[in-house]
Structure 1
Amino acid sequence: MDYPHFPNTQMVVKVNPTLKVWWKDIKRNRELEANELLGGLTALISVKSDRYLIKALLKFWDFEILVFKFRDFELTPTIEEIGGFLGLPYKEREMIVPHKPTPRSFLKQMGMRHNPSLLCLKEGWISLEFLYSRLGDEEGHENFHKEFACSPAKWERYRLNAFAIALLGSLVFPTERKKIHTSLSYVVRMLARGGKTIVPMILAEIIRTLTRCTKGRRYFEGCNFLLQL
């Protein structure tokens, strides 16, 4: 099999400072709840990226049989490894399959009023900065109270889910232009209900991304932090 050269493969290298600040706030008040919802995914905020390791691994990925082929042996990421690293249960749990919400539905899940001027929602994405300014910042409800359809007390209930969406969209399922998929709101909602697992979804995205990058895709949209571990 012929493998291309990967000099321009890009990926998440540093954790967004806004996400770090948000996590510090979460740790002060709701760390236990965050860990129950996200397991070891919160630890990714402290991982340092080794882009050169990922680029080196790409040269050994065989996308036909989905393994890293070295001279004397083969390796492949497994669901047991992903679940074990993250401390996330997956056995006898229903796999989550993301669904893109309507703009109105997404905002409702954030406790916000419908806003037709947010054209990005029609395209299925939102920015980290938008989520943090409204739901991460302690003065978010006060600063943007006209955008919310809930009281300050109820607003507190939406903040953890918004953080979970931001973390997943920034570190686990990143995109080249730093856009966070609104479909992750459905993923977080299912995790919060219990009895579901995100582990197969993470593994599938890593394998899919390895294959795409091996074939020439520029940006690594899987969780390169987790793969290097």
Structure 2
Amino acid sequence: VVTSIKVCFPVPKLKILYFLKGPKVMEQKTPVEVPIEDMKHPLEHAWSFWMFTNDKKKWEDNLVELTTFDTVEDYWCLYHYMKSPSELTMGQDYMIFKKGIQPMWEDAANRRGGRWLISLEKRKGEMDRMWLDVVLLMIGENFEHNDDVCGVVVNIRGKCKIAVWTADASNHKAYMEIGRKIKDALGPYAKLSYQHHNSSKNIHTM
């Protein structure tokens, strides 16, 4: 009876891995034993992982789509290869958006939307935990209004923040449910504020 098979989970291009984690990842090519019951579990949507590095004049030129994943196992493979948000340098961002949606306000899916902002200190434990919690909440489709979730961004600046983008800033019921679910996941000390993409004014806070 076959109880396991050897597989190599797909990972981002080696050039990207080298940039993100250094030369050690180049050695991690050996197949691993995977029990049949641990075969891949598809996600509801495919998600694209983007990175922004502020070192070019044009904003668009700083944005790079690194890879796309659509299973639970592929996400965890990516998670273990990538640097944590707290390891990024000033001016860098991670962005995870549904495949086909670009992480910019001008994209048709984002044009009428807004975002829940979560301010954080650049402390390794807090930032990395919150980022992981929000990403898992999102790709696991844990919202009642999953169709209104476009993606999530973590910005590394003087004041770091995580932003969950929603599709329709006029859909009060949807974005409030999303905000409450994020708040429940992150705990009572997390401070959230909702803004339209075209405004820095807070519409709601919790």
Q: Same fold (TM over 0.5)?
A: no
- Specify which structure has the higher proportion of strand: 2
- Specify which structure has the higher proportion of helix: 1
TM-score of the superposed pair, with normalisation by structure 2: 0.29
Which structure is higher in RCO with an 8 Å CA cutoff and minimum separation 6? 1
TM-score of the superposed pair, with normalisation by structure 1: 0.27
